[in-house]
Amino acid sequence: MKRNKILIVSLMLLITGTLTQSCSEEFIDVSPSESMTVGDIEKFNNNDGATYFVNSIYAKFLDWNMSTFAWIGVTSIVSDDADKGSSSGDNGSDKDILDALNFTATTPSFKELFASNYQGINRANQALLYIPQLDKADPALRARLMGEAKFLRAFMYFTLVKSFGGVPLIDHVPNPDSEADKKMQLTRVSKEQIYAFIEKDLQDAIEALPSKSVYTGNNAGRASVGAAHALLAKVYLYQKKWQLALDQTNQVVGYSLTPEFIDIYKVSGENNAESIFEIQGSGAVSGRAIQQYTQVQSPRGTGGWGWGFATPSQGLYDAYSNDDKRRDATIMHRGMSLYDNRVVNINAENKYYNYKAYSSAYYDQASTDVNIRYLRYAEVLLIKAEAMNELGQTSAAIPFLNQVRNRANIGDTPATSQTDVRLDIWKQRRLEFAFEHDRWFDLVRTGQAVAAMAADGGKVFKVGKHELFPLPQDFIMESGGLSAQNPGY
């Protein structure tokens, strides 16, 4: 039985439906169906009520459209780390299109990616609107919850800006009677404005959040000050603000690498000393699993456990050396005996499957015991190494790179020059974080995408187009000219 999970409480009991999505047909469905009355607010005017608002944001990350099929498609299948998988005749709605880089503005996964994150942002905006009004709740708790809401909002905007570039900046619950607010929801702002907003949210979160050690019991896994520093370091990394990224990594303290890499992905490894932020999923309690995350990626075939999508590519497998412990902790193969002694069915349709998504207790069920690891201390070390190397501090950067390499059992880096160290850092990011939803974005930000896609079966990454995903065509049409499509689509 899984322990230490954030209590996910449904807010459907709200008579006004304020925390649910509105009945509007607008593509960015962010407006509440109506405002909360004084009486409604009073029902939530206590510590539990304040907490419910923020728990609803975390709960969004359990949803199919936020964390499962579309997300797996646009982060793993689209990259050189994974093939579509499944059966040849099962296109997975659009996963064959993503795999071939033939996607368009009507490809369904982008609509889910776009809409799900704005649904989560809506919940964050509502929390930030109503929590300050709950004057009977503990002030210190309210301040912390506001910090959590801002961290989660920044997290979702970071996903959007990496994916689409400039997007609408919705920083408050829109008034349905306000023309300015209607326009706000349909008008893209620049990616620079989105990044500035993310930075401000994370800076505010840093001031409000406690250390990870404060969270115990059912609160384990909530956003901490270390998570805010780590995410801000990553945000700066993507903007090539090297010194600022380095400064933030130096603030991430109290964490350490898990000695055995495979232990990170077991239930016993959740929220451990390496974990900085992960989405909490539990199959033991109804409604708390990340919907079908494991099932979608589990072995398919006679006696199989799942759908078999997002299968590790041969190129990814071959990128690991035989001594690298990460390979057999990341990629399961036919006939392999897993850490719980289960054997991957020899009749599985595909040669390889994603081991990191495996759930020992719930391997063949829609509700599974698995967390998505989003920020680990290993990434802080590699961000620090990359930032230092780009600042010309190559010799000082190498020991941080070596910590990650040595845990993997591949020894110190042979690289000594700035160029070679840069390439090794990029390689270690691939091998370390495969299937942790970063590879595509890393390829784009580092300029490796053209070569990587060509090596992945001769796929063509079109410079000037594929750096960004297309905004959903439904949104472009609804915007009525207020937002333009990304180039090439």
Q: Are residues 300 and 432 in the same domain?
A: no
Q: Are residues 229 and 360 in the same domain?
A: no
What domain range includes position 449? 217-279+371-458
Tell me, yes or no, whether 408 lies in a domain.
yes
Tell me, yes or no, whether 285 lies in a domain.
no
Q: With the C-alpha atoms ordered 149, 126, 469, 291, is the resulting torsion angle positive or negative?
A: positive
Full DSSP string of 300-358: -BTT--S--EEEEPHHHHHHS-TT-TTHHHHEEETT-B-TTS-B--TTBSSSEEEGGG-
Q: Are residues 268 and 322 in the same domain?
A: no
- From 354, 370, 386, the end of a domain falls on 370
What was the pLDDT predicted at 7? 32
Q: Are residues 300 and 406 in the same domain?
A: no
- Find where tokens 């959007």 sit: 160
Nearest to 305 by CA among 265, 339, 367, 348: 348
Cα separation, 486 vs 483, in Å, equals 9
DSSP helix/strand/coil, 284: coil
Q: Are residues 399 and 257 in the same domain?
A: yes
Full DSSP string of 116-158: HHHHHHHHHHHHHHHGGG-TTS-HHHHHHHHHHHHHHHHHHHH
Tell me, yes or no, whether 365 lies in a domain.
yes
Interacting residues of 196 by C-beta distance below 8 A, sequence separation 6+: none
Distances (CA, A) of 184 to 105, 395, 469, 479, 483: 21, 47, 21, 10, 11
DSSP code of residue 213: G
What was the pLDDT predicted at 35? 53
Q: Are residues 381 and 272 in the same domain?
A: yes
- From 370, 400, 415, the end of a domain falls on 370
Q: Count Cα neighbours of 1 within 13 Å in the Cβ-side half-sphere.
A: 3
CATH number at residue 252: 1.25.40.390
Point out which residues pair with 278 in neighbouring strands: 373
Tell me, yes or no, whether 327 lies in a domain.
yes
- From 355, 370, 385, the end of a domain falls on 370
Instruction: Give the count of beta carbons closer than 10 Å to the beta carbon of residue 423.
Output: 15
Q: Are residues 360 and 410 in the same domain?
A: no
Tell me, yes or no, whether 204 lies in a domain.
no
Tell me, yes or no, whether 17 lies in a domain.
no
Q: Are residues 444 and 300 in the same domain?
A: no
Cα separation, 18 vs 12, in Å, equals 9
Tell me, yes or no, whether 89 lies in a domain.
no
Strand 275-279 relative to strand 372-376, pairing: antiparallel
What was the pLDDT predicted at 292? 96
Residue-level pLDDT, tens digit, the chain, 489 residues: 343 333 332 232 232 333 433 323 334 443 333 456 667 788 999 999 999 999 999 999 999 999 999 999 999 999 999 999 999 999 999 999 999 999 999 999 999 999 999 999 999 999 999 999 999 999 999 999 999 999 999 999 999 999 999 999 999 999 999 999 999 999 999 999 999 999 999 999 999 999 999 999 989 999 999 999 999 999 999 999 999 999 999 999 999 999 999 999 999 999 999 999 999 999 988 889 999 999 999 999 988 899 999 999 999 999 999 999 999 999 999 999 999 999 998 899 999 999 999 999 999 999 999 999 999 999 999 999 999 999 999 999 999 999 999 999 999 999 999 999 999 999 999 999 999 999 999 999 999 999 999 999 999 999 999 999 999 999 999 999 999 999 999
Q: How many domains does one find in the chain?
A: 2
Q: What is the dihedral of CA 172, 176, 181, 182, to 10 degrees?
A: 130
Q: Are residues 378 and 360 in the same domain?
A: no
Q: Are residues 314 and 454 in the same domain?
A: no
Tell me, yes or no, whether 318 lies in a domain.
yes
Q: Are residues 362 and 376 in the same domain?
A: no
Q: Are residues 330 and 360 in the same domain?
A: yes
